Structure 1
Amino acid sequence: MLDWIVKQPEKSILTLARSTAERPPQPGDAVNGPFIVSKLQVGPLVDAKGLNPIYSYMNESTSPGPGVFGPSHVFVVNRLGGNGNREAVHIEADSSVGQVGDQIVGGLAAGRIVAGSGTAYGWNPYARVDAIAGPGSQAIGQEVNVDVRRDVAAKVGVQIVDVTTSTGEGTSIDAALLFSRQTGARGFQTGIQFGYNGKDPQAAIDAGYGIRSGGTLINALPTTLSLQAGLDLSGVQKPFTDAAVKLAAGNTIRFGANGMGGSVSSRTSSEGGSILFDANSTILDFGGGQQNKFGPTGYTTTGSITEAAPATPARSSASCAVGQHAWDANYEYRCVATNHWKRAPLSDF
């Protein structure tokens, strides 16, 4: 059983007809459907804002069953030959007299729950590649193209806005961007990817990040919010087989404005050190199996301690804190009390 949209121009009526025929029903055919679902009117009907758009109304009360969507306005374009790109529906809003602040929207889709329960989807693209399709096919759920031919105040690929009237929250899931998969689906190899690897079949896509040189991959602007975490991976049930965060050698994690708050970096690509937080202790591994452990019982090392430069206290009463250590070619110095040094001579052996 197939659902088709039939337009009967003489009546300005769109009818949802059901047919088992291989072709859609034609105007004048007997309608094998339960009811007229839509009326199309252009002209004298004016809305509350004085506009005169095309109005199309539908009322329906069917029960399509689980996994099946009920009747709607259906546009089917079946390609039988030719080559090149195709569009099933083209919606465009052009403006040549727009003012600053005007919003020119090419298309707006809204799913609304006015009573009862359910899930409202504003827009639900569906890209499908059947099993018999060619091996070079692609499935892209949605592509957003930006064509800016002069400098503008804002250039954004995707903008997600929680509007003024949105005063509720998600008690189970509350996320601006959510990645998921249905039971049985294979899932994606990568959650978020910047750039192609040069193997993309679309020749128009460059093997680059899509972000110009000197730009930033992810940028969090200043905010007065008190956030719980910047990046939370605690929900991962199993350890990462490689690393939770991975950087190439020579890269740095910086803190503060312009990195003035300090940094953590690595210059080696092999046998690099690590910092391990163990139970009640911190272990510094400097590579090559040499570990240095700091814990409540003191400091333990598997290698030697090197104090690179000598430091000779000027006198026994020189400023110092208890436990401070110093040395020179002749003596070892230890601060035994506040501003009180003692020394022991060094000798060959």
Structure 2
Amino acid sequence: MKMSLIINILSIAFMGQLMAVSPSFSQETYRLKAAITGLSSSSVVIRYSRQGMLINDTIRVHQNQFTHALAMTDGAIATLVLNPTTQLPFWLESPLISITGTLGTTPILQSRGTPENDWLDLYRKTIERPYTLRKQGKSSAEVDAIVLQQDQATRQFIAQHPTTRTAAYLLYWQAVYDTTIFDQIELLLAKLSPQVKASYWAQKTLTRINNVQNRPRVGKKLPAFSLPDATGKTISLTSFAGKYILLDFWGTWCVPCIQGIPELKAIHEKYGSRLAIVSIALERPSDRQKWLKAIDKYDMNWTQTAQFTSAREGVNELYNIHEYPTFLLADPEGILVAKIKYGEVESQLEQLLK
């Protein structure tokens, strides 16, 4: 079931190929001022992406209020995270951004005072909030049906406001949560105004469509990528000519990934002459040392690379990776041979590499 914009947007812990057009970052600092009745937490989080890296700023709250200075972000958007189920995206398009609201069973939050924030607030008021209320007390099947109705209403909103960046932003999240409606998304994308079509979120939507349509499939050549390894050397699929390649998508934060390391060590010892293991870790920008220490601690003496980005950037988005760990086996020509389930790596490799 897909989640609504406030409920879970950008809350996936580590979630795209890097945008072909890099955002231009101004030196201007935006000041956020918030007053939210019922905000009893001692701190809140502002979550955003900058140059592909997911960043969380923790802010102290005093008497239901807080202020925060913020530089430009990817896509000119950040998200206020009050708790796991209450989040508010807002646009950075004014030196002073004001957020007000009231917490409760159904929180009401507003970021207003600029054109795009007003559009985002209109969407929350006319679509997101009413549909959220309709879901309360309903069964899972009933909620699923309401979510589909909300998505249809969201796409109507996008079609009605093609000159707004908010339309492109909403369209991107439609593309994230439902890969079965890309025909509708492409039509909506084509109807955006030229300026909006060239914006960060519209281009990110296009990248999402292209990545999913070209995602790795058994029998198809894997998309090319290059990443620095733990020593700084750039590696790619062509670095392992003549060998099968096992791509291991993992993270130091992933318990099953850590539990599976002994199996990978056994595989490396058994098939080292025929099989190259390439581990691609997904880590927070601040966790590089944690990653390096894990490599040393668990004696992971095969090729180690990492992305210090959100999971909706870089190789993870290019390969449409949403579960950790994920294992992909490619033949010496770079053709995907198999997607291997966690816990079955050694047994499947024994059959595939006989």
TM-score (norm 1): 0.20
Higher alpha-carbon Rg: 1
In terms of fraction of residues, the more strand-rich structure is 2
Q: Which has the higher contact order (CA 8 A, sep 6+)?
A: 2
